[in-house]
Amino acid sequence: MAANATILSNGSSSTTPSPGTFQSLARNNSYIIPGVYDLNVEDTNWVLTSSFIIFTMQTGFGMLESGCVSVKNEVNIMMKNIIDIVLGGFTYWLFGYAMSFGRGALNNPFVALGDFLIDPDVSDPLFGPIFAAFLFQLSFSTTATTIVSGAMAERCNFKAYCIFSFFNTIVYCIPAGWVWGEHGFLKNLGVVDIAGSGPVHLIGGASAFASAAILGPRLGRYAKGTDPLPLGNPVNACMGLFVLWWGWLAFNSGSTYGVSGAKWAYAARAAVMTMMGSFGGGSFSIIYSMYNNDGRMDVVDLINGILASLVSVTAGCYLYHAWEAIVIGAIGSALCCFGMPLFDRMGVDDPVGASSVHGVAGIWGVLAVGLFADNPLRMDTTSGRSGLFKGGGWYMLGVQSLSALCLACWGVCVTFLLLWLINKIVPIRMDPNEELLGADLMEHRIRHTQIGISRALSALAPIQLDLGDVIDAPPIGRNPGHERCVDEIEAASHKLHQWRTAMDQFSKKEKADSKGLSRKPMETARTQTQETRRRVNMFGKPMANGADNAGYDGDGAPVTVSILGGSDFRLKTSKKEGKEVYPMTNVGGDQGSSRGADRNDRNFAWID
């Protein structure tokens, strides 16, 4: 596209004044139009819609990662994903977008320097395209930064992670400019990466590897070998895969950057090839897992194999034929499945396998373009070149290899440096005692039940460790108001039992005192008294005799309330005639008419 042509809001083109009309460093000026702003109305609609869908991948990452870690850390991993969007997105607006796609006189092949704090004026002819381009690139940036959170799970200090998330944009934005920015040296060499196998996934995977390595393994991770640990919630992990699968379609087909001209056809091809790649990767994962586990399917193998295949086809998603996408996806899945145990043998503890899924498969995805890429008609994606297997020679494979090398080295080295600096300010590793108790409890005061937290608290009690505030943290999943009601019901049942015992003793004494007297007049008087007085129990229901009382079982056996397992409330049932005693449900409620009843009756339970 010509450098002096701009796209107006109505889709028509006009000629802007020459660059001399404006100051070269004017904020958000529009006299130079990179391809990232080459959008008409239809293209903008496509880009915005794809951006919205790509953002849903954050849900998928959160569910997948929380499902792979232990339950006592699942909330913490979700908090990290939120932090990645908030802090990572904020810094991308501050300086990340400017260092990837900024327009300024100081731009160089390594980094762009312009359009910081981007906010174009309404009079800017590129007002709409700038915002659409920023949102689309923001969705990619947050995806790259959140890949790292899973590799650091279960032992990273949350405060240190917040600082890391704030500056992690640097790890992504500069190499993204190399590949996609008008200034980037890799782009000008002819590197092709349509949707980010390199700038997004390889950078994220390399950063994940460095993070896991510098943090060290979780406590006791390799005490009994390198076999995978059990998942905290396999269902969540599988649901996360489905959400990511859905988002990947927008991730790849949206990277045609519009639907005008021939773009719509290649957007459709990108979506289909994305699915084809996942079919190949999933098929290999099934075979590998069943062979490796004696006919049993391992959840992590299947999930990560499919994700690795999606990563592999991302770089050339609309440059492949169907069979090529299937082969590329299968190879990516194989590299991931073999890579995960290899990293464990190296002592690199990656709880979600991000180093293999995004790092190893990302390298393969970048290289696959140099082997299988077609030269797309009516699109200048490859600058007229083709891959090695399509008769294009070695050039494309060479520049793709250079790209993979540069991106991997950058991701590892910069992440190591960043975490080393943060560790000088805030320890990046959790205290070992806090790690045993879990980040949910220690960082967020969320206490899970029946997962060993109480055991860990008891074990750490003799140690000089301030656990007063976390010990008092209420367990999640319970309603404190309901717990108080249960306590009241338990006390009422105990009082009812005491009252009935006292009435039994009084009745026996009454019988003893009435020996020698006629029993018939007494029974007649008692019957008349019962007919003239309506009994009202604590449920507000009239009762004719003691058999209707929920606290009376007909044979004088005590009825008690027990709290089982700390939260399981049950009332024991009557042994006579299989009668079930239902729990009392109205304690201190509006049914206050019981106060008018006779307290000296076994059918009445008084609650103070």
- Annotate 385-433 with DSSP letters as a single string: ---GGGT--SHHHHHHHHHHHHHHHHHHHHHHHHHHHHHHHS-SBPPHH
**pLDDT tens for each residue of 368-412:** 999 999 999 888 899 999 999 999 999 999 999 999 999 999 999
- pLDDT of amino acid 503: 87
Using the structure block, give the residue that is written with the tokens 């109205």: 586
CA 450 to CA 562: how far, in whole Å? 19
pLDDT given for residue 470 in this prediction? 56
Q: Lowest-confidence range among 165-179, 223-237, 508-522? A: 508-522
pLDDT digits (tens, 9 = 90+) for 413-425: 999 999 999 999 9
The pLDDT assigned to 602 comes to 45
Q: Where are the domains of the chain?
A: 35-430, 432-498
Contact 193, 312 (CB under 8 A): no
Q: 260: which 2 tokens? A: 């005008």
Which tens digit of pLDDT belongs to each residue from 109-121?
A: 999 998 999 999 9
Range picked from 11-15, 263-267, 549-553 for highest mean pLDDT: 263-267
pLDDT of amino acid 524? 55
> Which region, left, alpha or beta, applies to residue 566 given φ > 0 means left and ψ of -120 to 50 means alpha?
left
CATH class of 35-430: mainly alpha
pLDDT of residue 586: 41
Structure confidence at residue 572 (pLDDT): 42
Q: Are 141 and 133 in contact (CB under 8 A)?
A: no
Measured CA to CA, the distance from residue 562 to residue 570 in angstroms comes to: 6
pLDDT for the residue numbered 4: 36
The reported pLDDT for the residue numbered 487 is: 83
**Dihedral sign, CA of 145, 150, 151, 156?**
positive
- Percent of the chain past pLDDT 70, that is, above it, reads 74
Query: Which whole number is the average pLDDT over 294-307?
Result: 94
- List pLDDT tens digits, range 462-508: 555 555 555 556 666 566 677 778 788 888 888 998 888 888 888 87
| pLDDT given for residue 33 in this prediction | 58
Output the CA torsion sign for 192, 193, 199, 201.
negative
In angstroms, the CA 604 to CA 599 distance is 6
Answer whether residue 18 shows pLDDT above 90. no
pTM of the model: 0.75
Q: At 94, is the pLDDT very low, low, confident or very high (cuts 50, 70, 90)? A: very high
At 517-566, the pLDDT tens digits run: 555 555 555 555 555 444 444 444 454 444 444 444 444 444 444 444 44
pLDDT tens by residue, 310-342: 999 999 999 999 999 999 999 999 999 999 999
